[in-house]
Amino acid sequence: MALLDSGRYSRQIKLPQIGPGGQEKLARARVLIAGAGGLGSLSSLYLAAAGVGHLIIADHDHVELSNLNRQILHGEASLGKPKVASASHRLAQLNSTIEITQAQVKIDRESIDDLLEGVDLIVDGCDNYPTRQVINRACLRHNLPWVFGGVQGFDGMISSFVPGSSPCFECIIQDPKTLKPETIKPDTQVPDNGIIGATAGMIASIQAMEAVKLLLNIGTPLTNRLIRISGLDMRITTAALTPNPDCRVCKPSSKNRDKNP
């Protein structure tokens, strides 16, 4: 657990919404960062800086040169190294008082439950729909909140999914492989069309803010809302989210949440 260093955290302890009690709560928190890429880079740095006591970094990839335009946890010296090792090294440099667990594993149905032992919240740093399906269904099983983020090009989107208080991820965004081409909405899919690093930075910063709010139960989180940011014209829109009555995953009687996505 992170040591409560009032000097290190003095600027946020001054905030009445946090204070010493909130800082102690952050120090006891355990957060899974699901992916040490563009989103996981910024969110993990901000959560480490905020004093979240235990970060579990899960990723099975290695650092590549093309990662470095956005994955600022890593540098040229980390090329070829496992991302979890590179991430752990950088986060420890930032805050040596917190605990960091490296999980060099692919997040899937077989690995997810072990990763969630003792976890309070998940921050999504994934880059594909099937992994988010696994996270969504695991969070429903374990009654855990998670903060979703998606990015492409200059654009991004973010929401928070809290079982019992919001629709689930699969209510809102359906698997593109199961949809007919004419039914796919371009504003809800995240194709791989390249990205500028600042896009991931914008969304990941909001993810870190959401994570702190959810951990401390302060403010108004993005449950039941989806924010979209268009970076080129700096347009921010918010859409209200409602449960899908036909969702086979989050309905209380559903038997599908434990099935393979």
Which residues constitute the domain of residue 39?
10-240
Q: pLDDT over 90 for what percent of the chain?
A: 83
Domain membership of residue 122 (yes or no) is: yes
Which residues have C-beta within 8 Å of that of residue 238, sequence separation ≥ 6? 225, 226, 227, 228
What is the rounded average pLDDT for all residues in the chain?
A: 90
Evaluate whether residue 208 is within a structural domain.
yes
- Find the mean pLDDT for residues 110-116: 97
**67, pLDDT greater than 60:** yes
**Is a pLDDT exceeding 80 seen at residue 103?**
yes
Is 249 a member of any domain? Answer: no
Rg, the chain, Cα only: 18
pLDDT reading at 180 higher than 70: no
The verdict on residue 40 lying in a domain is: yes
Q: How many domains does the chain have?
A: 1
Reported as a pLDDT band with limits 50, 70 and 90, residue 176 is: confident
Is residue 217, in this structure, part of any structural domain at all?
Answer: yes
Query: Count of alpha carbons within 13 Å of 117, Cβ hemisphere only?
Result: 5
Closest CA to 88 of 49, 127, 120, 44: 44
**Cα(43)–Cα(200) distance, integer angstroms:** 10
| Average pLDDT estimate for 77-99 | 97
The yes-or-no verdict on residue 36 having pLDDT over 50 is yes
What pTM did the predictor assign? Answer: 0.89
Sorting pLDDT into bands at 50, 70 and 90, what band is 252? low
Kindly state the DSSP code that residue 78 receives in the 8-state scheme: G
CB 123 within 8 A of CB 208: yes
Q: What is the CATH number of the domain that holds 19?
A: 3.40.50.720
Residue 257 reports pLDDT greater than 60: no
Return the residue matching tokens 């099983």.
141
Contact 97, 9 (CB under 8 A): no
Give yes or no for residue 261 having a pLDDT over 50.
Answer: no
pLDDT at 188: 43
Confidence of residue 3 (pLDDT cuts 50, 70, 90): low
Least confident interval from 1-5, 6-10, 206-210, 213-217: 1-5
Out of 46-60, 74-88, 132-146, 246-260, which region has the weakest mean confidence (pLDDT)? 246-260
Is residue 134 within 8 A of residue 109, CB to CB? The reply is yes
In a domain, 261, yes or no: no
Mean pLDDT of 201-226: 97
In angstroms, the Cα distances linking 11 to 5, 32, 47, 136, 211 are 11, 25, 15, 34, 18
246 inside domain: no
List of residues 6+ apart from 112 with CB closer than 8 A: 134, 135, 138
Least confident of 37-41, 50-54, 151-155, 172-176: 172-176
Phi, psi of 60 (to 5 degrees): -110, 0
pLDDT value, residue 4: 65
Give the residues across from 131 on adjacent strands: none
Instruction: Provide the pLDDT for residue 113.
Output: 96
Which residues does 96 contact at the CB level (< 8 Å), separation at least 6? none
* Stretch among 48-57, 72-81, 208-217, 251-260 having the lowest mean pLDDT: 251-260
Residue 257: inside a domain: no
pLDDT score of 74: 96
